[in-house]
Each structure stands twice: as C-alpha cells, then as structure tokens.
Chain A
Amino acid sequence: MTDANSSSRVPNRLLGRGLVAMGLAVMLALAGCTSGGGGGGGSTPSETPPEHTLSVAATLEPASLDPWHNTAASIPQVLLYNVYETLVKIDSEGAIKPLLAQRWTLSEDRLTYTFILNPAAKFASGKPVDAAAVVANIERMKNDPKLIETLRAQLAVVASAKVVDDGQVAITLTRPSLMWLYDMSSTLGIILDPSFTGDLSNTTAGSGPYVVKAHDKGQDIVLAKSDSYWGTPARYDDVTFRYISDPNAQNAAMLSGDLDVISNLQAPDSLPQFADTSRFTVTKGTTNGEVVLGLNHKSKPLANLKVRQALTMAIDRKALMDTVWNGEGTLIGSMAVPTDPWYEDLSGVNPYDPAKAKQLLAEAGYAKGLTLRMRVPVVPYAVKSAQFVASQLRDIGVTVKVEELDFSRWLSEVFTNGDYDMTIVAHVEARDLGKFANPNYYWHYGSPEFAELYQQADEATDDQAVEKMKLAVRYLANDCAAIWLFALPNLVVTKNTVTGVPANATTLSFDLTTIASR
C-alpha cells in the first residue's frame, strides 16, 4: 500500500486547507516562541482525570471499520491489537511475539505451522478463541469474492487450515514463506468472532482489550474498555481517536491541552513547539514508511541503468531530509527500514556526486540533458521533496517538470495508468519490498533477477533468510530500482504524564496496550 499522508488513503489537504495550514503554522511557531515562559504546567480548560481517558489525534478518518473490504490504513491504526487481535504480533523492535497463539511450531518441510492457542483467549462476546474460529476465519477470507487484493495475495500461499484439537490449529502453505508469518501479525491474522453476523463496517467483533463504543462520523472513534478481556485489562475506560486532518490544528489542540497524544506528528518542523518538557514528551522512532522516488521503468531514459544511477547520485539525500523533514527520519537507500531484520544502511550506494552523475548521463547518451515529468500527490513531503529534487537535477542538466495532483487523481493517472516518469510517495506497509517483484506494479520494474532473489529469501530457512533477504535488498539499491529518499520518522507527542508509547511504528496499528498515564 502506498500512502500519502503516512496514515491512510486519501490526504485531505486541498488548497484551501493549505492556506489555513500555512497561516496556522506561522502563528503557532510564533506562539511556541513566547509561550514557554507563560504557560508551563497550567491547568487546561477541559481537564478530566487523566488516568481514565485518553484522547489521541490521528490524521485520516476511516470511512468504514471493515479492514477486509477497505484498504484504508486508518482502519488497522485504530483497531489492530486494540480491538482485533491476531495469532502473532510484531513488537516495537520488529520481532514476532505471541498474542492469541502462545507459541507455534514449524514442520520439517517448513510448510506447516502449528499454532498453540492461549486457552484463556476469548472474544468480547464471551466465546472462546479456539481452533475452529481460526479455521473459520481463513475459510471466510478464502471464500470472499470482495476481499481486498492485498489480503488475497497474502492468503494465496495458504493451502489448508485444519483443527488439530480445540487449542491447536495447523496451517499448511503451498511453499515455505517467511513473509507469511509476518503477514499474520496484521489484518490477515485477525481472528474475527465467527458467531458475529452483523455489519462489519459499523461494528466490530474482536477479542481485544477495547471495543468500539461510538463512531461519530467526521469527528472521532471512541473505544471503551472491554470488561471481559482475557489478558491484561485495558488501562483506560475510554480512548478517543480524534480525526484532525490539518497537522497544525492537531498541534493547536495539543498545545491548548485538549489532547493527550498526537499519534504521528505530520509536520516535523513544528517539533520546537513541544520543547517544553514540563508539559510534553516527544518519542522519536521509525516507521515502515519509505519515501520512494518512483521511477517508471517503461519511460525510455529510465530503463537505462546509467540514467538511474546518475539521477540517484545527483540528489543529496541527507540535505533533502534536512530541508524537507527537518532532519527527522532515516536515510535508507533501499526498500527496508531499520526495524526489518534484514535492514542495513544502503544510503552509501551511489553516493551524492553530481560530477560523476553528469558523466554517467553523458555515457548514457544524454550529454545535452533530458526532460522528465515528476507527477506527485499533493502531500507535504512529496511536494517539498519534488521541488528539492527538481533543483538538484537541474544542476546535472535534467529538466524536471513538476506537476502536483490531488491524491485521487494521482491514484488514477500515475498509480493505475502509469502516466509519469518520476513520482514521490511513501510506501507505509510493512516489509513491502516484494512489490518490486511485480512487473505490473506502477514502477513496471519486474527484474527477473530480483524476483528470483526475493523468492529464494522468502522460502529460505530461518538461519539463512535474513542473509538472503539482504541480497535482494542490496540488488534493488545497486540496480537503482527506485530512489529511496528517506524513511519517515515516528514522532509521537504526548502530555508528559503519558508513558509507554512504543518508539517505533512497526505495524499500521497505534498500539494502546503498553500506554499508561501517571
């Protein structure tokens, strides 16, 4: 899944809001400069006992609560691990941990996973999370013609699911797959209460510590503590996800004391506003979001490796991250992020070297330069990065025509129709380098060598998998399959009474289970 605003599907920043945002940003910056002395530790207008409720700002509101028929990343943001639980879970460091399954074993041929379920686990309805429920979920998805493509592709590797006994379920794959177990930590692995027959877009039926209490469209989703939760009870009676699409409006609400948490700060240049440590804590970490400068491999000049190398070497990615994202983030250099087990810093492959870039361009037959169309969605990181890139490529004789499209238009013209040379968008899904193996994906890359390396790594034994995956990741970097500008940071702002915020966003979930208030 690509993602524009790094938390869901369609960014809500239209021109009108842009103006508002700009004004608010300026005013808030001024306010931040002067409020440090005046306001520290003051009481807030709507202060409620902090230990019972939590108010979290998020950017994009899901239109539906159904993650099986809706691709919006904002659905798992609120529901995954909080309302719906999976067999296994990814922790803040990227490791696979037990959740509904206490442990699991893998057969000799590495095709059959046997999950031993936690005997205490039960749904909010009171029914147990047993082997039959797990099998029912796999069958339900397999037989659902409207299931979203991502899940269908992840499910394709499953040959069968069988009840061993009430507490054990055996899932057999068609081929060994490392990624499949990771996928089971996200929407694919959610165990929905099989007895539920209602409308999934407005109600939920999970086994998590919270249940959805209300969805006030246009405003918020309120989660309430599930009294019958089988594990460690929820720490809050109510958690409200407030949807505020404008980043500066989120900041204003936080500064005024209305919010407890900004789930991911969308404007890193506003960090200084939260410098007052007597009121705020800023937790910095990483996300799965790679800001990819996508190259259309069907575009004639870009099919040439020398041109791709030249473009890569012409862009000073460190300077770009400093300018565009206030220096927050990680330079990655390929399609892997620091919490991936196979991550290594490849930002040094094809380092910034404009002279060499010019020479490569000449060798490729473009000594007189060339013109490329850069079509980007109107989201802050993409628009700012595009301007920066255009200015740097001008230095090596490449004219970049930047065109800004609203996200719906970007989806239709760039993503589906492939009508572009270069584009910039964040890919926020976890472990998504496999997208490069699909020649029909909008980059039209599809190098058979890469696809081969990727599949070998996916099918490798545990002790070899990481090394093999590194080979695939390095291949992408060396082949300049795209230009990786940087990985988006996870910047969580909280009142300083809030603790336990996971540093890294390793899944799409905003995981509430470790968060508490002093």
Chain B
Amino acid sequence: MGLSLRLLRRFGVFVASLLGASLLIFLVTKALPGDVAQVLLGTDATPEAVAALRSQLGLDQPLAVQYFSWLGGLLTGDFGHSHLSGDPVLSLLAPRIAVTLWLVGIGLIGSILLAIPAGMIAALKRRSWAGTLVSVGAQIGIAIPVFWGGILAVVVFAVWLRWLPANGYVPLLTNPGQWALHLILPGLTLAGVQAAVLTRYVRSAFLEVLNEDYYRTARSVGWTPMRALLRHGLRNAAISLVTVVGLQLSSVLVGAIVVETVFSLPGLGSLLLDAVAQRDLFVVQGTVMFLVLAVLTISALVDFSYLLIDPRQRTSHGGAR
C-alpha cells in the first residue's frame, strides 16, 4: 500500500471517529436528567416558566433537529452559546485550553525528562541498589492516584512548608512569576505520576537494547555502557517510547483534569465539571468534543511520527520485514 493511500485511510478513520464521538456526546448529555432551564430559573421556577424557557432555548425540538443543528454549527466553527452566561462556547474554551495545555505540556515534558534518566539507571544498574530504588520508586508512583499525589504535594509544600501556593492560577501575561509559582505543584504532580509509568517502559526498552548485537559491538570497541546506550540505544528505544508517550498523552489529559480539580485551576476539567453540574449542555458538548479532537489528533500524529523515526516504515512494504 502506498504512503499517500495509508495517510488517506488514516484520515478517514479520524473523521469517522469524530462523527461517532459527536453523536455519542450529544446522546449522553441529552440523557442527563434535569436541564438548564431549571437551573437558570432556580427555586423561582414554576413548571410553566421552565417550559417557556425550554422552548426559548430550543430544548423542546426533536433530538435529530437539535443534533444536526449543533453538528452543522461545529462544521462552521460555531460551538453554540452557553445557556448560563450567554458567552460563545469557543470564547469560554479558549482561556481554559491555555491552562490545560500548560499543564499537559509541563506534565508530559517533565515526565519524559524524569523517566529517561530514571529508566536508564534502572536498566544499567538493575543489579545494584540504585536500580532497585528507581524500580521501587516507580512502582509506588504507579500505585498513587493522581489526586492523592496532588493532595500530598499540597499538604507538604503549601500547608506545612508554605513554599508554594496551595491552589489557584495567575495568567502568564498578568504576572509571569506568580504564573510559574502556581504551576509548579500541579505540573510536578502530573509529571511525577506519569513519569512513574513511563520509567518502566524506558527500563524495559533499554534492557532490550542491552541484549542487541550492536550494543555488544559498541561495548567491545571500548565504549562505556552509558555512551553506547546514548549513541545507539536511545534511537532504538525511541520507537517504543513514542508509542507509549502517545498512549500516555490521553492519560496525561485525563490526569490534568483531575489535577485541575485538586488545585482549583481554571482549565477544561473544571469548566466541564461545572457545566455538567449546571446542565449547560453546549459547553459540555463543546468541551468534550474538543478533548476528543485533541486525543484523536494526537494519536494520528503518533502514527505519522513512526514514519519519521523508523525509516523501515517509509518503504512501500510498511516495514513488514
């Protein structure tokens, strides 16, 4: 199969997944009991007032009409308006995306920076105390849920030591120093937990390299284990790492949403939770749709990145060697 055909097929899967997701998201939000008309009227509500508002908001139209008008809007870049505040959903999403992206970025890069050296140590020194320590540390890290890690970090660094703020957010442009201070704990929490998972993959990827001929050759011509690993091992280990990081990205995103809750960060996660609680359906649908789009895009990019890293994949035989 030619490269362009493979790209095309991958793109088809991408579009079909998005459509399927949009239908699923729509149906699930519609299945939620209670509605925004009720929330807007609060305890002032009379059944007549609720019915009138429902019709004004278009919530009484047939489901198919509602779905296609929402989908049509999406295709033209119109995510609808929040029923509660009247703001366009996209204008609500934009500042939230920035916060979540910072968090995901710090979490992902931080976890890679932590996991690669840790995994290499765990592989090279696997028979000494240093390797064992890293492996045990990684096991503990995997066992700790993200929210628990976050709470632990808050209690130690904010409540006991009072070095860092416990929660909240300051935009980068408002005050870069405060912005950084407020992202340290959530960023490290996310990075730490993800690094624990990643370390195990890095370790096993490097362990494989240690048994390869090219590694033995490099060692036999007098290279140190570290130099041989860095020179030959890293690129070979990278393929399995990219796969894992790609898979991890969705879990980093989910982790970020949990971390946002623990640290009261105004990201996508808190937007989503509040919107669900208040049945602000366009906001719920828009946010989830964006998350789906992000995850699908990432997994498509991961697929494409194999082509860059592994020359074998670029041949027309798809690397089936």
B-binding residues in A (CB < 8 A):
1-3, 9-12, 14, 16-17, 19-20, 23-24, 27-28, 30-31, 34-35, 38-39, 42-46, 63-64, 70-72, 148-150, 201, 216-219, 242, 244-246, 249, 252-253, 255-258, 405-413, 415-417, 440
For the complex, give the distance between the alpha carbons of A14 and B164 in Å: 27
C-alpha gap A464/B164 in the complex (Å): 58
B141 CB within 8 Å of chain A: no
Known: A201-B85, A412-B34. A246 touches B45 (CB 8 A): no
How many contacts A-B (CB < 8 Å)?
183
Contact B159 A408 (CB under 8 A): no
A408 touches B155 (CB 8 A): no
Give 19 A-B contacts (CB < 8 Å), ordered by A residue.
Answer: A23-B148, A24-B154, A27-B151, A28-B155, A31-B159, A35-B160, A149-B46, A218-B271, A244-B168, A249-B263, A253-B168, A255-B158, A255-B159, A255-B166, A256-B154, A256-B159, A256-B164, A411-B39, A412-B34
Residues of B within 8 A of A244 (CB): 167-168, 264
Q: Give the top 9 A-B pairs by smallest Cβ distance, nearest first.
A: A218-B266, A408-B34, A71-B42, A149-B44, A256-B158, A409-B34, A252-B166, A256-B166, A412-B34
B residues neighboring A (CB under 8 Å): 32-36, 38-47, 49-50, 82, 84-87, 92, 95-96, 147-148, 151-152, 154-155, 158-160, 162-169, 171, 178, 181, 258, 261-264, 266, 270-271, 273-274, 276-279
Determine the distance from Cα of A219 to Cα of B43 in the docked complex, in whole angstroms: 25
Chain B: CB-nearest residue to A30? B155
Q: Is the CB of A416 within 8 A of B258?
A: no
Provide the residues of chain A in CB contact with B166, threshold 8 Å. 249, 252-253, 255-256, 258
Give the chain A neighbours of B43 by CB distance below 8 A. Answer: 1-3, 71, 411, 415
Cα–Cα, bound, A197→B34 (Å): 34
Q: Is the CB of A257 within 8 A of B162?
A: yes
Asked whether A14 and B160 contact (CB < 8 A) given A31-B155, A218-B266, A415-B43, the answer is: no
Known interface pairs A71-B40, A412-B35; 12 further A-B residue pairs with C-beta atoms within 8 A, sorted by A's residue number: A20-B147, A23-B147, A23-B148, A27-B155, A71-B42, A218-B274, A242-B168, A244-B167, A244-B264, A255-B158, A258-B168, A415-B45
> Are A258 and B165 also in contact (CB < 8 A) when A39-B160, A71-B42, A252-B159 are?
yes
Contact B165 A253 (CB under 8 A): yes
B119 vs chain A, min Cβ distance (A): 29
- Chain B proximity of A327: nearest CB distance (Å): 25
Residues of B near A440 (CB, < 8 A) are: 46
Contacts of A415 in B (CB 8 A): 43, 45
Alpha-carbon distance A150/B264, docked complex (angstroms)? 32
Contact indicator A14/B42 (Cβ below 8 Å): no
Closest chain A residue, CB of each to CB of B178: A46
Asked if A44 meets B162 with Cβ closer than 8 Å, knowing A71-B43, A246-B261, the reply is yes
